[in-house]
Amino acid sequence: MLPSVAIIGRPNVGKSTLFNRLVGKKIALVDDQPGVTRDRREGDAQLFDLKFRIVDTAGYEDDDAATLPGRMRQQTEAALEGANVAMFVVDGRAGITPLDEEIARWLRASDKPVILVINKAEGKQADNTVLEAYGLGLGEGITISAEHGEGMADLFQALLPHV
């Protein structure tokens, strides 16, 4: 069985873009437990010579902001179950938000290894977020651009001990 990597993060940070980059065209649609992660997608990913299962915690992007944190928590916990490591994605252009801080607290409380991924970092757009992200207590983040494929060697190095 391949090791499993969960992509965690609030809506719109680029989780699905990263998922698609790592999976390429081999995307599996997965039916999940009702009410937890309605359109979770799972696939076989490859990054250089690393092969792993990857789970995209999709969904809820269009839903009511008032109940988002509770649903994010359910989704995060469901995604962490069975994962060897979590990639916690934040938006390098938007900066760290209260919801990011809340997700970081859940992740710190779990026993899973977490890789902090600062996305949308092309063109040094994430420089301020890199400093802010230290405050999440999850170590030094790695900067990537899921859209442009930057930072993939650093992502590889970060995943290597866990998959």
Contacts to ligand GDP by CB under 6 A: 9, 11-17, 61, 119-120, 122, 145-148
Nearest distance, CB of residue 9 and ligand GDP, angstroms: 6
Nearest distance, CB of residue 89 and ligand GDP, angstroms: 7
Both structure tokens of 48:
């250089």
Residues facing 117 on adjacent strands: 89, 142
Chain residues binding Mg ion by CB under 5 A are 15-16, 58
Give the DSSP per-residue string, 16-73. Answer: HHHHHHHHTT-EEE----TTT-TT-EEEEEEETTEEEEEEE----TTS-GGGHHHHHH
Phi/psi for 80 (5° steps) reads -70, -30
Closest residue by beta carbon to ligand GDP: 14
Position 62: which residue type? Answer: D
Nearer to ligand GDP, 1 or 14 (CB): 14
Residue 15 annotated as part of some ligand binding site: yes
Residue 56 annotated as part of some ligand binding site: yes
Which residue matches tokens 């009511």?
Answer: 64
Q: Tell me which of ligand GDP, Mg ion, none is bound by residue 11, counting a contact when its beta carbon lies within the kind-specific cut-off of 5 to 8 angstroms.
A: ligand GDP
Residue 59 annotated as part of some ligand binding site: yes
Nearer to Mg ion, 69 or 157 (CB): 69
| 39 Cβ neighbours under 8 A, 6+ residues apart | 29, 32, 58, 59
Q: Report which of 55, 15, 16 is spatially closest to residue 37, judged by C-alpha positions.
A: 55
Nearest distance, CB of residue 110 and ligand GDP, angstroms: 20
Residue 84 annotated as part of some ligand binding site: no
Nearer to Mg ion, 16 or 110 (CB): 16
Q: Tell me which of Mg ion, ligand GDP, none is bound by residue 145, counting a contact when its beta carbon lies within the kind-specific cut-off of 5 to 8 angstroms.
A: ligand GDP
**Residue 155 contacts residue 5 (beta carbons within 8 Å):** no
Per the annotation, binding residues for GTP are 9-16, 56-60, 119-122
